[in-house]
Amino acid sequence: MARKLYVGNLPYDTSEQDLQTLFAGAGTVDTVNVMRDMATGRARGFAFVEMASDEEAQNAVSTLNNYSLGGRNLTVNEARPKPQGSGGFGGGSGRRRSEPRW
């Protein structure tokens, strides 16, 4: 199992420190990154937590998946790699612009 975990269904007022404290009960936490809206700075309801070892990551998943935090049941599982080509500026139909037909 990978050491990086996805944590979903977070209450919007959850901070990095809150998750650091919660996951420290399952093992050593390397990093916590609560994803935020770029325009408003408000949390988006999910985060990534990186644990120090695979065993601690597995312990965190088994201990904290479905854990109730702020009235919401957390989803904790192994983070999947970001799909290739995702993110950035999307849109467009993939068709090339052509010269006008005169």
Domain for residue 83, yes or no? no
DSSP assignments along 33-95, one per residue: EEEE-TTT--EEEEEEEEESSHHHHHHHHHHHTT-EETTEE-EEEEPPPPPTT-SSS----SP
Domain for residue 9, yes or no? yes
From first to last of the 102 residues of the chain, give the pLDDT tens digit.
569 999 999 999 999 999 999 999 999 999 999 999 999 888 899 999 999 999 999 999 999 999 999 999 999 999 988 787 766 555 555 566 666 666
Q: Would you tell me how many other CB atoms lie within 10 Å of the CB of residue 22?
A: 21
Domain for residue 88, yes or no? no
- What is the CATH classification number for the domain harbouring 55? 3.30.70.330
pLDDT for 29: 95
- State how far the Cα of 31 lies from the Cα of 49, in Å rounded to an integer: 6
pLDDT for 92: 55
Write out the residue range of the structural domain in which residue 59 sits.
4-75
